[in-house]
Structure 1
Amino acid sequence: MNYKLSRRRFGQLALAGTVASGLSYLGNKAFAQTPSLNIPNLNIVGIGSSSIITTDQTVVPEVNITESDDSTAPNIVPTVIKPLGLVLQSLITGNSQVLGDKSTPLLEPNEILSGFTSLTDGTLVVAITPVTTSRRQATSTRITFLGTPVKTLIVSGLKRNQQLGSLLGTIDGRLIGLVGKKNGTPPIVLVDIDLQTGEISPISKVKFPNDERVSNLAECPDGKLYTSLLGLNGDTTLVQLDSNPKKPIGLAQLKVDDKAWNNGLQSLVCSATGQLLAFGAMRYETPNAVYSVDKNSGNMTRLQDFDTTQITLARS
């Protein structure tokens, strides 16, 4: 018997193999560190998403079969790719943890991770946003607390074309974030998020420019808030949020080795010593990496590669 796989089925099996290899790689990976510039005493946690591979013997494989006397059938095990949810990774140890399974996925295929932070009690929080604007297909924007047990709140107060992102657990115990259009364009609003109900309310003291994208929120121990502005060409400016002048205070253009950073940031965090850390990659480059940031000059120093989507500092 000759088995001829359709193009679609071949693609599914190929993807299954890729995802399975990726999960194995993720579980065993030891992250390479720059010899003279590793990151001591910082528990940096990354979050990403993946898919789970399950074998289901009741599924009929999608193959076209023709009979032949001089051939044998290959051992094909039907596979089904289902949403998995979230993968947490530790930068320092390289350990990973999968949250969710085939019966309770935390992330659907039509959703993205739009924000990630940690609260004062150490709870990790992620914002999950649907990518479609169709009322019939869209799920609800929600925040998920990655504790024991996992807790999810539906976010209320968003308009249909808005997205919640860039979460930040503040020093005084609040959860704040940035709300903008789903394509990332202005207007951008800084909001408080009720930790009990998921309801958002604008923080009107800060006014963002209408010609630049705003992403990422970080708070240093002195209480100062920082974010980044993204220009049309990808140029990225570090700014401080100050409620007195009611607009961001531009600090410096971000750059690496005297070359302008050209791709925005995935995350921005601040250590207990007041050191800003940026996370991302230059345009057309991989993987993402953690950089230390000089607030005055905008110079970024590459510390360590980290193949994940967003980061936060885990709190004890």
Structure 2
Amino acid sequence: MGYKLSRRRFGQLVLAGTVVSGFSYLTNKALAQTPLNIVGIGSTSIITTDQTVIPEVNTTEFERTDQNSVSTTDIQPVGLVLQSLITGKAQLITDQSTPLLEPNEILSGFTSLSDGTLVLAITPVTTSRRQATATRITFLGTPVKTLTVSGLKQNQQLGSLLGTNDGRLIGLVGNKNGTPPIRLVDINLQTGEISSISQVKFPNDERVSNLAECPDGKLYTSLLGFDGSTTLVQLDSNQKRPIVLAQLKVDGKAWNNGLQNLVCSGTGQLLAFGAMRYQTPNAVYSIDKNSGNMTRLEDFDVTQIALARG
């Protein structure tokens, strides 16, 4: 039986400090000289699923759980909140009366633009009970601004948003079930229209998700194998295929569950966010680009992260 959380009750929880929001000031010995400001986002919606369905990858990765296992009557949208590792200040980022996330929708992308504006990609989950709404991007400014995304086919999904160093917004488009073909696209910040921007050909037997750009302009993403193995690759417009760097691993064990996000600090440190299969919570890891070794920095129980900029 699904538990339904009312908007009024959600507001009470926020005021009580059960749900917190703000910016995260991440410090660790590995990054002691270059502390990072990180934002995490999550949803307070309660979703009841068939407990017998065990996803092969983390359910917030590019492919979600079987859509047929989601009970549409057990989803109560009450908005999205930013969450902090340290500050603990209770403050909603949006009016509870106009929730950002509607029933049968997922948060498929999260990033920050060069001016510090946070951007979400919200994607409909197609079900037989309800006609899907349009994919949209939402800018968490004052006021909140939303654009309908155009240029997607019915079976396609926009995800893995990235605000580039030069002020653009790019992302990855693939099939809603997570299968190729995958393409890198530019998203018009004024109209929401997407257009292909790269001739890089991604593998047809691996999922592709997460985009990060370092200060030197190099783009990175991750490839996810059917067994959960995750490979760090670099994208170069002069190369037709991704440049394989290393398979990701922690404590000598292969990372087996894809990633929620990749981000790159102002000093060029690549960071991963996610959790090994069947483990919780998600955590932030630093990545050695040459070896693929990941060092755990901080646990962070949110859905996706982005760097706070501006």
CA change 1:94–1:224 in 2 (3 A) is farther
State the alpha-carbon separation in 2 of the partners of residues 148 and 203 from structure 1: 30
One-letter code of the match for 1:184? G
Rg larger in structure: 1
Cα deviation, 1:242-263, whole Å, max 9, x if unaligned, reads 1112210000000000000000
Are residues 1:148 and 2:148 paired? no
Give the 3-state SS of the residue equivalent to 2:146 in structure 1: strand
1:113 equivalent in structure 2: 107
How far did 1:98 drift? 2.1
1:26 equivalent in structure 2: 19
State the alpha-carbon separation in 2 of the partners of residues 288 and 21 from structure 1: 26
Aligned match for 1:104, one of 98, 109, 119: 98
How far did 1:43 drift? 0.7
Are residues 1:249 and 2:243 paired? yes
Whether the 8 Å CA contact 1:99–1:106 is kept in 2: the answer is no
One-letter code of the match for 2:179? T
Whether the 8 Å CA contact 1:38–1:304 is kept in 2: the answer is no
Are residues 1:46 and 2:35 paired? no
1:302 equivalent in structure 2: 296
How far did 1:206 drift? 1.6
Are residues 1:207 and 2:207 paired? no
Whether the 8 Å CA contact 1:43–1:90 is kept in 2: the answer is no
Cα deviation, 1:13-67, whole Å, max 9, x if unaligned, reads 7x669978975433399x9x89755765211000111149xxxxxxxxxxxxxxx
Give the 3-state SS of the residue equivalent to 2:20 in structure 1: helix
One-letter code of the match for 2:18? Y
Give the 3-state SS of the residue equivalent to 2:234 in structure 1: strand
2:226 equivalent in structure 1: 232
Are residues 1:162 and 2:156 paired? yes
1:176 equivalent in structure 2: 170
Identity %: 78
One-letter code of the match for 2:263? V
State the alpha-carbon separation in 2 of the partners of residues 312 and 112 from structure 1: 17
CA change 1:141–1:95 in 2 (3 A) is same
Q: Name the structure with the higher strand share.
A: 1
State the alpha-carbon separation in 2 of the partners of residues 20 and 172 from structure 1: 38
Deviation above 3 Å: which 4+ runs of structure 1? 15-24, 33-40, 94-97, 133-136
Aligned match for 2:216, one of 216, 222, 241: 222
Trace 1:117-132 onto structure 2 (pairs within 5 A).
Answer: 117-132=111-126
State the alpha-carbon separation in 1 of the partners of residues 11 and 141 from structure 2: 26
Give the 3-state SS of the residue equivalent to 1:217 in structure 2: strand
State the alpha-carbon separation in 2 of the partners of residues 83 and 294 from structure 1: 39
Cα deviation, 1:97-151, whole Å, max 9, x if unaligned, reads 4233342111112111000011111100000001116595201100000000000
Q: TM-score, normalised to structure 2's length?
A: 0.82
Are residues 1:260 and 2:245 paired? no
**In the comparison of the two structures, how many residue pairs are matched?**
279
Give the 3-state SS of the residue equivalent to 1:47 in structure 2: strand
The 10-residue stretch of structure 1 (91-100 or 182-191) with the greater mean CA deviation from structure 2: 91-100
Are residues 1:85 and 2:72 paired? no
State the alpha-carbon separation in 1 of the partners of residues 119 and 28 from structure 2: 32
Whether the 8 Å CA contact 1:133–1:161 is kept in 2: the answer is no
One-letter code of the match for 2:104? N
1:293 equivalent in structure 2: 287
